[in-house]
Structure 1
Amino acid sequence: MDELKEKMTNFKEQVRQAADLLTIVSETVSLKRRGTQYWGCCPFHGEKTPSFKVDPARGLFHCFGCGAGGDVFSYVMKRDNLTFPEALKQLAEKYGIPVPERAKSAREIAREKESREVMGANDLASRFFHSCLVNTRYGERGIQYLAGRGIGRDIIDSFGLGLAPPDFQTLSTALEKRGVTEEVLLKAGLVSPRQRGTGVYDKFRARVMIPIRDPRGRVVGFTGRILDKDASPAKYMNTPETAWFHKGNLLFGLDRASGPIRKRQQALIVEGHMDAISLHAAGIDWAVASMGTAFTEHQAALLKRLTPEVVFCFDSDRAGLAAAMRAIPLALQAGLKCRVMHVTDGKDPDEFIRKEGREAFEELLNNAKPGMDYQVDTVLGECDLETLGGKVEAVDKVLPLFRDCQSDVEVGERIRELSRRLAIDEGLIQSEYRKLTHQESGGRAYNPEWLTQQKVKVTSPTEQAERLVLRAFLEGIPPRPGQEGIAHVDSFTSPARQAIFTTFLRMVQEGTYKDPRDLFPHLDDAGAGELTGILTLNVEKGTLPSILADCLRRLQIAALDREYEKHSQLAEKYEKEGNEKFLQELAECRRIKMEIGKLTKPA
């Protein structure tokens, strides 16, 4: 292990020891002690009965409602929507622990300096615009405009709304006096170069200014909404795309809405910044805006970390309909539940909430249509279902949508409903869907018979053995001689346990493994929940060597059972075909049975 890697490992452990999980959770969650553990309502999903547990002795948390779990780093990552390095740095700063750094290249030093300067310029500009709005006579126009949209001083201050003066150099002059160079102003997109001569002029003028923040709350850009309709053809003006401002990677308001989104377990997505601001003003504080662009995979991934469900609320015109149709598959493919609502009478959400009020808006929200239902209804509404050609067109357009279904059960129900609506035989539609999935997905095609073969999953002795094997490995217990090669990734029957095993092996090989909790930053929610369960198994470390030997034997038997089943099915298949290979398969079955017999024979 090189010197920096060792320093980082020790640094991480130092932060872990300093950062008391119970204290950090108690900052935002009311906990009550029960024995040696503490319980409260989960901060990551809405609940009234406490199912969220903190175990201070082990430094772990777990929610029995949503399955969230992990250590202090996992908690801060999930609570504040941070990456592991960001959470580590935040906790280090909180507890006054210096971050070890390797020697940086000249390019890296220059890039960090540039980033600090641009972020600093944006922050100064945001405060300048806000002061112009609330502290100047010219700002009265902006205050009146916002008041007409139901936005008072509390929301103005909360979002940091501001006003750009009408002059060409007010902002640039003010920031240059604060030491911001012309070069930095250009990189931040706050000014534009003069087309004639030298120098720059303010990009935003006579506009209500909306600061755009990243998920950590840092100002990365602006949107300006025009006050004087005759002053410019552009109603809205944005910071140009920069190294720090990518509209497709941002969701307006997410820095404020992430907490309410987690609590409600739902995110409301609108198109425009003013839509989101007006909704927050009305108390709909789980709303975010897609920055006026098409919803993106990156935005879906941001929300997936916070909530299982999104509701799209776009304008009720053709553009809004098209935006919803583009957004739904991205949400579904990210594993999000998805619904769609449209406000009525051609209004946008901003206008509707101001005129009709929160109660009417929430009624529409509660009746939002499931995303795939919305897609199907939209497609069928565009086809002439009175003609054979129209029905064929409908089937061709609708079936590809079903590839985003979460299960064959859902596919089957949707095919049945499509059959009813089109008055086409269900079997014919099933046949078309099988062709589609076989040709395009390359995976297991839809098979209605498969639905009747599924069994309810129950915890088995083999699954418990897998957990105990992982617990022993994580505690540093080696296999006994002769058992070294038994455990491999295919020995584990769930993706979560496979991920834990492969992550553990990789970290051991890299020399970065010191503590079982080191795995949490590298696992998804399912893996983190499984690891929490493994680490909280009630087992004494002194008994683990004998437990490991027994559980490895169980895994070996389970693997042989699977092999036996495979060869048994092949023998049956070959015998029906009259193929003499069935004799070889029977011989293999007998060999496997003998192996199982040796392993199950009492010592």
Structure 2
Amino acid sequence: MIPQDTVQKILQAADIVEVVGDFVTLKKRGSSMMACCPFHNEKTPSFHVSPAKGIYKCFGCGQGGDSLRFVMELEGLSYPEGLKWLAKKYNIEVQEREMTDQDLIQQNEKESLFIVLEYAQNYFHDLLLKNEEGISVGQSYFIERGFSKAIIEKFNLGYALDSYDDFNKKASLAGFTTEILEKAGLISVKDNQSKIDRFRGRVIFPIHNVAGKPIAFGARILKTDPKAPKYINSPETEIYHKSQIVYGIYQAKNAIRQADNCFLVEGYTDVVSLHQAGIENVVASSGTSLTPEQIRLIRRFSQNITVLYDGDAAGIKASLRGIDLILEEDMNVKSVVFPDGDDPDSYIRKVGSQTFTDYVNASQKDFIRFKTELSLEEIGNDPIKKAGLITDLVESITKIPNPIKRSVFYQEVSTLLQIDENILINEGNKLLRGKNPEQKKGRSDGGGFSPGPPEPARNREKEIVEASMSKTNFHEEVLVRDLVLYGHEVIDKDYETEEEHTLADYLFHETSEIRIEDQLLQKIYATYKQYYDLGEYPDIKIFSSSPDTKIQDCVINWMSPKHELSDNWTKFEIFVPKYEEKLSDFSYKLVLRITKDKLQNEINQMLNEIDDANDEDQEIIVVNINKKQLLIKKIADILGAVM
């Protein structure tokens, strides 16, 4: 195993001209070096080496890569062997190492946590089904709530005996050490070395990861004890981070995909009760504040969330922050409030699944109407409070990355509260510029971003270089290409604050809702995003020297334009704008084209569905198609396209 810092040292030392020059005779031509390709027979040189970019590319046979790839391909070496070849050339010492005992301990510890938690789940579940106390106390509670044996099995529900150390004794006899039991959050060790079970006299709700492995437990007390909390949960461990998981995601993920919507509730019993009634696309935040990581986990399965609130006004207001977080992740959110005194669990047990579903469908509201109606009941005719509500709504709208969605919601607030839409847009743009450096100056369409006035631009279809992959979406490839090549370029500057905004700022903000279908493009996009989220712009060599040859081939194609402008253009004072100089205009129009493509795909999907729909659904589909066509026309007008 070659340490990563040594790998980077080798790659940085390897000069592409020196390495290739050991095998072929290179001649300078402009900014590149040229030769006949060593990978295929040719008489006219088409093998280019770029010293500045550190890559080679043959436009005859398509071979391309960096110094390491060159020696691997030409000498038939593996990746480690190629690294050693370069290390020897540049006198770099390579000290390979095996996994240390500490490495093995850390790896084994993680595996041990999964094993011991699986054991604990089975232990608690068996107690519920077979132990006298588990049956009389635990099962009685679940039966009272209407849970069937099938649903108990589905969620692996269990019971912990009202004993200080029964679990610890059984687990110790099974071979688990005190250290791993404590690290898993299953026991606590006191100063006097006594070992006490964490869960005692409670019903158990196992918490599973997306793959279905138990990673933690939630436990509800059954007896009245004013000194004891109603619920306790496992502590954070190496495999359980409560901010990154939602309860029920394993059992709900397929249903969420099928329904293309996720019901978000607060408690464990809400989730289990809805599953019991046949409503399976539901997860719970487990009583904790909603986090961005939890929302992103849900977004893997659907872009739509319906938040089901208890009928408690104080709880609803406390939960409104979660809506803003959902908006920031560019998801579509609706809200439902149950009659006062009811939560999803109690309401569905009271009325049944059909009435429950009818109520949700009839009562759900988008976040604008929800927040507005919730607040108008309190503010009455007070103009100061009304102004505060408007500011609050505008602030929520600015959380939405998608400019078209922002525009639609500005229109809705304008209609609901009888206020000029341009005032809302202007206030929103002030908030965007003041709070988020990546947000830009506003447009009259309510998008809140203007990298520059739309100017006549070159036809981008003519500029794209030959690609080594099949394209599922041309515009998405241009997006990822420009991100990799020019993401660090500054395209906008706020002269009041001196803040500079890059192409990556713009693209990640304005296109965060895009699901890139091509796996290779998605991989490149995700890699760049990982660095960006850490406040870095990844060096192009991250991709051009990637161990993944598909990524390397793709990016080197982007880096290797087949034609270059002659120096004679400059000699005769004929100045042609560089691609980088037009990034602002190109990217603005690219975002609009991608959005337009997405809308058109949605229309096509609805047209495919309309023949099979009943009369009522057909009317709804036609209305939705008309809305999307209006948005497409608006975009087409901006682009100057003829519809």
Question: 1:555-576: per-residue Cα shift (whole Å, max 9, x none)?
Answer: x99x8597999999xxxxxxxx
- Where in structure 2 are the equivalents of 1:38-187 lying within 5 Å? 103-141=98-136, 142-187=138-183
SS of the residue corresponding to residue 263 of structure 2 reads: strand
| 1:430 Cα deviation after fit | 4.3
- Where in structure 2 are the equivalents of 1:499-510 lying within 5 Å? 506=541, 509-510=544-545
Tell me, yes or no, if the aligned pair for 2:328 and 2:401 is still in contact at 8 Å.
no
Q: Which residue of 1 aligns with 2:36?
A: none
Q: 1:376 to 1:444 in 2, by over 3 A?
A: farther
Question: What letter corresponds to residue 319 of structure 2 in structure 1?
Answer: A
- Among 356, 359, 366, which residue is 1:361 paired with? 356
Tell me, yes or no, if the aligned pair for 1:209 and 1:224 is still in contact at 8 Å.
yes
- Where in structure 2 are the equivalents of 1:519-598 lying within 5 Å? 549=562, 560=577
Alignment pair present for 1:257 and 2:252 = yes
**Quick one: distance in 1 between partners of 2:339 and 2:309?**
11
- Among 327, 330, 347, which residue is 1:335 paired with? 330
Question: 1:360-406: per-residue Cα shift (whole Å, max 9, x none)?
Answer: 2212332311123323333444434x233233323332221220245
**Quick one: distance in 1 between partners of 2:445 and 2:177?**
69
SS of the residue corresponding to residue 192 of structure 1 reads: strand
| 1:226 Cα deviation after fit | 1.7
| 1:317 Cα deviation after fit | 0.7
Question: 1:299-336: per-residue Cα shift (whole Å, max 9, x none)?
Answer: 01111222111111121213431343111111111121
Alignment pair present for 1:236 and 2:231 = yes
| 1:179 Cα deviation after fit | 0.8
**Quick one: distance in 1 between partners of 2:216 and 2:583?**
59
Question: What letter corresponds to residue 441 of structure 2 in structure 1?
Answer: A
Q: Which residue of 2 aligns with 1:217?
A: 212
| 1:185 Cα deviation after fit | 1.8
Tell me, yes or no, if the aligned pair for 1:465 and 1:552 is still in contact at 8 Å.
no
Q: 1:560 to 1:373 in 2, by over 3 A?
A: same
Q: Which residue of 2 aligns with 1:580?
A: none
Q: Unpaired runs of 5+ in structure 2?
A: 8-95, 472-483, 490-502, 509-515, 529-538, 586-643
Tell me, yes or no, if the aligned pair for 1:383 and 1:393 is still in contact at 8 Å.
no
Q: 1:137 to 1:288 in 2, by over 3 A?
A: same
**Quick one: distance in 2 between partners of 1:146 and 1:551?**
73
SS of the residue corresponding to residue 225 of structure 1 reads: strand
Question: 1:51-73: per-residue Cα shift (whole Å, max 9, x none)?
Answer: xxxxxxxxxxxxxxxxxxxxxxx
Q: 1:259 to 1:467 in 2, by over 3 A?
A: farther
- Among 270, 274, 277, which residue is 1:279 paired with? 274
- Where in structure 2 are the equivalents of 1:513-524 lying within 5 Å? 513-515=548-550
Bigger mean CA deviation after superposition, 104-113 or 494-503 = 494-503
SS of the residue corresponding to residue 360 of structure 2 reads: helix
Q: Which residue of 1 aligns with 2:394?
A: 399
Question: What letter corresponds to residue 182 of structure 1 in structure 2?
Answer: T
How many residue pairs match? The answer is: 431
RMSD: 4.4
Q: 1:102 to 1:156 in 2, by over 3 A?
A: farther
Q: 1:130 to 1:514 in 2, by over 3 A?
A: same
- Where in structure 2 are the equivalents of 1:376-455 lying within 5 Å? 376-384=372-380, 386-442=381-437, 443-448=439-444
Q: 1:232 to 1:436 in 2, by over 3 A?
A: closer
Question: 1:551-603: per-residue Cα shift (whole Å, max 9, x none)?
Answer: 999xx99x8597999999xxxxxxxxxxxxxxxxxxxxxxxxxxxxxxxxxxx
| 1:233 Cα deviation after fit | 2.8
Tell me, yes or no, if the aligned pair for 1:314 and 1:342 is still in contact at 8 Å.
yes
**Quick one: distance in 2 between partners of 1:321 and 1:391?**
19
Question: What letter corresponds to residue 169 of structure 1 in structure 2?
Answer: D
TM-score by length of 1: 0.61
Q: 1:419 to 1:235 in 2, by over 3 A?
A: same
Tell me, yes or no, if the aligned pair for 1:415 and 1:430 is still in contact at 8 Å.
yes
Q: 1:323 to 1:257 in 2, by over 3 A?
A: farther
Q: 1:112 to 1:445 in 2, by over 3 A?
A: same
Question: 1:110-134: per-residue Cα shift (whole Å, max 9, x none)?
Answer: 2222223332221111111111111
| 1:254 Cα deviation after fit | 1.0
SS of the residue corresponding to residue 308 of structure 2 reads: strand
**Quick one: distance in 1 between partners of 2:278 and 2:353?**
8
- Where in structure 2 are the equivalents of 1:342-353 lying within 5 Å? 342-353=337-348
Q: Which residue of 2 aligns with 1:205?
A: 200
Q: More relative contact order in 1 or in 2 (CA 8 Å, sep 6+)?
A: 1
| 1:208 Cα deviation after fit | 1.0
TM-score by length of 2: 0.58
**Quick one: distance in 2 between partners of 1:198 and 1:469?**
69
SS of the residue corresponding to residue 163 of structure 2 reads: coil
| 1:409 Cα deviation after fit | 4.5
| Identical pairs, percent | 26
SS of the residue corresponding to residue 210 of structure 1 reads: strand
| 1:506 Cα deviation after fit | 3.7
Q: Unpaired runs of 5+ in structure 1?
A: 8-100, 475-486, 520-530, 532-543, 569-603
Q: Which residue of 1 aligns with 2:17?
A: none
Question: What letter corresponds to residue 145 of structure 1 in structure 2?
Answer: Y
**Quick one: distance in 1 between partners of 2:391 and 2:226?**
49
**Quick one: distance in 2 between partners of 1:310 and 1:461?**
40
Q: Which residue of 2 aligns with 1:191?
A: 187
| 1:500 Cα deviation after fit | 5.2
Tell me, yes or no, if the aligned pair for 2:183 and 2:237 is still in contact at 8 Å.
yes
**Quick one: distance in 2 between partners of 1:517 and 1:279?**
48
Q: Which residue of 1 aligns with 2:468?
A: 471
Q: Which residue of 1 aligns with 2:285?
A: 290
Q: 1:104 to 1:376 in 2, by over 3 A?
A: farther
Tell me, yes or no, if the aligned pair for 2:159 and 2:204 is still in contact at 8 Å.
yes
Alignment pair present for 1:311 and 2:306 = yes
Q: Which residue of 1 aligns with 2:369?
A: 373
Question: 1:403-453: per-residue Cα shift (whole Å, max 9, x none)?
Answer: 0245545444444443444444545444444443443344333332678x9
SS of the residue corresponding to residue 146 of structure 1 reads: helix
Tell me, yes or no, if the aligned pair for 2:305 and 2:334 is still in contact at 8 Å.
yes
Question: 1:252-309: per-residue Cα shift (whole Å, max 9, x none)?
Answer: 1112211221222211111111111111111111111112201101101111222111
Alignment pair present for 1:326 and 2:361 = no
**Quick one: distance in 1 between partners of 2:179 and 2:190?**
13
Question: 1:503-551: per-residue Cα shift (whole Å, max 9, x none)?
Answer: 79545532513236998xxxxxxxxxxx9xxxxxxxxxxxx9xx98589
Tell me, yes or no, if the aligned pair for 2:208 and 2:247 is still in contact at 8 Å.
yes
